[in-house]
Structure 1
Amino acid sequence: MKMKDLSVLLAVIMIVVMMVIPLPPLLLDLLILINISLSLTIILVAMNTKEALQFSIFPSLLLLTTLFRLGLNVSTTRSILTNQTAGEVVATFGSFVVGGSPIIGLMVFLILVIIQFLVITKGSERVAEVAARFTLDSMPGKQMSIDADLGAGMISEVEARKRREKVSREADFYGAMDGASKFVKGDAIASIIITLINILGGLLIGIVVHQMSFGEAANLFTLLSIGDGLVSQIPALLISTATGIVVTRAASDGNLGTDITNQLFAYPKLLYIVAGTLVLLAVFTPINLFLILPIAGLVAFGGYKMQQSLSSEETEKTETVNETQELEKLKSPESVMDLLQVDYIEFEFGYGLIPIADKNQGGDLLDRVIMIRRQMALELGIVVPVIRIRDNIQLQPNEYTIKIKGNKVASGEIMLDHYLAISPGIDDEAIIGIETVEPAFGMPALWVNEEMKEEAELSGYAIVDPPSVVSTHLTEVIKRHAQELIGRQEVKALIEHVREHSPAVVEELIPQMMTIGEVQKVLMKLLREKVSIRNLVVILETLADYAPQTKDIDVLTEYVRQALSRQITLQYANQNQALQVMTAGASFEKKVAESVHRSEQGTYLSFDPETSQIIYQKIAEQAGQLQASGVQPVLLTSPAIRMYVRQFLERYLPDLTILSYNELEPDIEIQSVGVVNL
């Protein structure tokens, strides 16, 4: 036999032996302390089990501990009646614990017995009886459920065998607990009887055998009997409590301590109500204010700390769940579809530019992006999609790039500890800085430090801080590529917005005359030439007027431009209501009109290479002269050829504004600063 098995057998034999053989007081003290330690161990184990079957030996252990405790009672009774002593432990409980008063000791002992017998034992017995009944009644259903899962292939034969074994063990356990609870009940009754025997027998032996007076015998034997009853009832109370914990334990993922703290204090805000109630008791009752206020404060502080802890745990749990969901999402076959999603606008920057985007470091890029989207809505009439801002370790520390639909369209470099000084046209040699080019408009500039900033301002340089450089560049890129940001879905959203206050024009135009895709093409052509589509009602009404006459998108766009003449005039005229333009000469217009070809795919302009080169050089030369003098270059043509000239020059001079006479208001003063002739 193993040493563990042999030790248990010897312990059981020794329990029987000590009921027969008298034990010395020292050994009694040792066994009493072992009894107390064993009962503490049992209740702690019961509190830390997650389910009853983890402590399946408890019914047998309950019988053995009851037998051990009764054996101790027999030994201590023999020692009390024979030697008038039962060791220091019994004497201590009889004198020190109860204050040396037989009456007080008797009252404490009776209270303990009543608590154990009427409260804990009765409750545990009832719970064990009900649990056993329900466990036995549910066995057939559980067995059928296991067989169904096995037949469906949801579990293996090994798993089914384990589940059947668990069901059987649960039935055996709760049946055994139903019977074992009777041991606890009998132990409480036996303790009362043994204590009464000790008191009455001690009085008789003390008076008759030892010739003591009644008072001496009552005092001595009552205190010893009460001490003996206490040292046996306290472990009995602990084990009775352990019995109640085991039979009332529901299935859980944690032990009793964890479940109590998690469930009892799951609502920390309620502790504030408890604290407030205590304060009201202190105010409206004679209870000492300085006694109750610290308790109320402690309860409120506990609620505050637990609320913080719960918030932190919920945050961590949410992050863990999100990470798990993301991981599972990446593992799923459908996750590849997410990789096909392309952001409309992306702004990526090197790690050296993180401070301009990080609010904690004073960065306001996110706020500037919000203002850019508002500005685009006012200037161009479009809703700019959400701009994806992120760092990219593959870029240089001070570099940034701007992407439209996944393709890089612009880039630049900035220095966070410098200012961009844009040259006024005449450079000042006293201004020292790092030469660069302003990224939005391509003008020569310098990066100057803080000390050189004021001097550069006095010399006429335009000083721009790094965040403004980035936001200006981003704004110009969005304007330049606005036509790429308006798809059919965006156009549909704009039309639905117009439908809310002008439903008639929308119902007339769409879908009877034009589709959303055709309206989108018109809006894209307008945005390509930086014409705002904010006045969408006028645009849709013009399309409704002319769509029955033609389906040519280019022609419809020209009609819309003419309908927006006031808007276009104000966009390019100066404060004096004057517009300086290059005028298309008669020979140029005649050549263009003769070169227009029509086909099934539409009309287009076709020049021979030599003529194309001459036209491009003449227009580029005059546009450069105007730009050098600070005037925005504008080419004015007749309405018949404007769209063809635009198609021809769009590839070579995309920023050149081309207007027709019908797109200008009559009251505008036109100042011709050059004529384009062939």
Structure 2
Amino acid sequence: MPVIKKAIDTLTRYVEVIMAFCVIGIITIIIIPIPSGLLDFLLIINITLGVVILLLTLSTKNVLEFSTFPTLLLIATMFRLGLNISSTRLILSRGNAGDVIDAFANFVTGNNYIVGAVIFIIIVIVQMVVVTSGASRVSEVSARFTLDAMPGKQMAIDADLNSGMIDEQVAKKRRVDLQREASFYGAMDGASKFVKGDAIAGIIITIINLLGGILIFSMQNDMGALEALDVFGKLTIGDGLVSQIPALLISIASGILVTRSDDGQTFGKSVTKELLGVSKVIMVTAVVLLIMALVPAFPTTPFLIVSLILGCSAYLLMENEKAETQLAGNISEVIEDNKDKEENIVTTFQVEPISLEIGYALIPLVDEGNDENLINHITAIRRQCAMELGIVVNPIRIRDNLQLGPNDYLIKIKGNTIASGKIYINRYLVIDPGNTDFDLDGISTKEPSFGLDAIWIEEKDKEKADLNGYTIVEPVTVLVTHLKEIIKNNSSDLLGRQEVKQLLESTKEKYNVVVDELIPDILSLGEVQKVLQNLLKENVPIYDLVTILEVLADNGMLTKDIEILTEHVRHALKRTIVKKYLNSEGVLMVMTIHPDLEELIGGNIQKSLSGSIPVLEPNVITKVFDSIKNANDGLITKGIEPVILSPPKIRVALKNLISFTFPSLPVLSLNEIPNDIEIEAVGLVDKI
């Protein structure tokens, strides 16, 4: 075994040199005569290469898994032509081209070389007129459509990147794959011409072998014309078949490869699923064949046998469908990390921090055999939330709920429904990037995460949507994006004491001093939790936990007021807070507060269970809200997303006041703006 491994490593190391010698060898066999024994060996290699290429195309899931096919097609064609030339040289000079050609000649033609000639002509016609022409046309159309659809696919990649579904490395790989796919179809369009030319060359070489052999051996070797025709007719047909059969295999392989749809499965799995997927169709076919078997003019036995086979197959398929339906009706739970297979009695009545309930039509999304299943996406979401927000998201429990519609889903936090939606796993969600009406047929809807107008289209309309520049989103991506937004918007509710303890233990591995100093001597675990929750409520990430703990340790001896401690932490995290609100030029666009309103709020702040809040007259609050709405709407129409800039003493109270009416409008204090950040006032909040 070590010797074999060493040999494989050596071949791998010098594979470029070996390939170079192989290509040079192809040119060599065209020029230099080779013995019949070596020709037999090379012809067997040629047939083997054709079979291997055909089987590889049946095993690929998409064209990029066999992206070297166009180049390999050229090399295989040149190799085949080189062997054809070498065999022609032996036939015309010796009247014998080795055992392989002789075997094909005798086996196919028997005692009648005219039958062999007809078979050879049929193979050439099938290869050149049917398979190669069709594959060439498909490659040409696919190359054009792929190039036309590239802008739309690029936008889809950018949308996934911006939404956080993929990282920069995955986006870069998808862009490269997109370019490789376009290059592949373009190369296949040209490579198909080699196969067509090879078929024409095969016909010409065959005619040369037949006429040349008859003339040479009847004139120079005193062989009779009929005898020469009999000998060279068989050899010519044998030579033609030996060269054209591998050519036909590779032509079929090229046709299979370019006509495959990218469904992430091999050809065998795809055709089995689609051809035998509907048991009723198979059963009806069996009945039709049974009726034909009873017709007196038709042979009964063959029709009856095929009918029985199809009937049995249809019955088995029906039983399988019933089993799947019963399985979908049972109570099934899929735990995201899938490590604990048993639950104790206590966990059965505990409320999950976050859970996802799906209708029965969405159950295939959690199929573990699918690489792109929902569980893998949820794992990616948990990782992204940890990186972007600094929180630990508990494993998300997925349940089927037969009370829901087939395509519906619910997102629950601590047992309460927070959001719901509907997706179709056999359709695609199309979002119009502009303000034009959809020129597509489908089911109108709203994109659940951001409320954008959208439409669910079928697979057949996907290419048209690409060409029109629409953003196309996979159904699982729609659900996962919605789930991620819900987690981000409710991150403070998901951060319990247990999660805070996990964060502290992780931080303690490297920064044990600050953790030991703070807890429990200065603040309790619950007080630290409340500060972190306050930060998350206003979309402040807590991944810089060391800085947060140090600030709490510095100020926790002076005050236990959670709001004041939170404001101290916000001041320390000012660069983290401000950076996401800066425009492309690094300027912070703000709405300022009128001095009279500032004085009014500052003089009427009271503490409540929900925190500090200004106690104002209802008509004053209405006027303040109207002022904020008018200023904010006017700026958004100009493409400006402002923040409210507030004095430090009223920031918390003002944020609590507007949090229900304007939940996504940030309120920053002057203490949270670094000195080197440029501020531009673009609006005013007043009570008038």
**Scaled by the length of structure 2, what TM-score is found?**
0.48
So what's the TM-score if we normalise by structure 1? Answer: 0.49
Larger Rg: 1
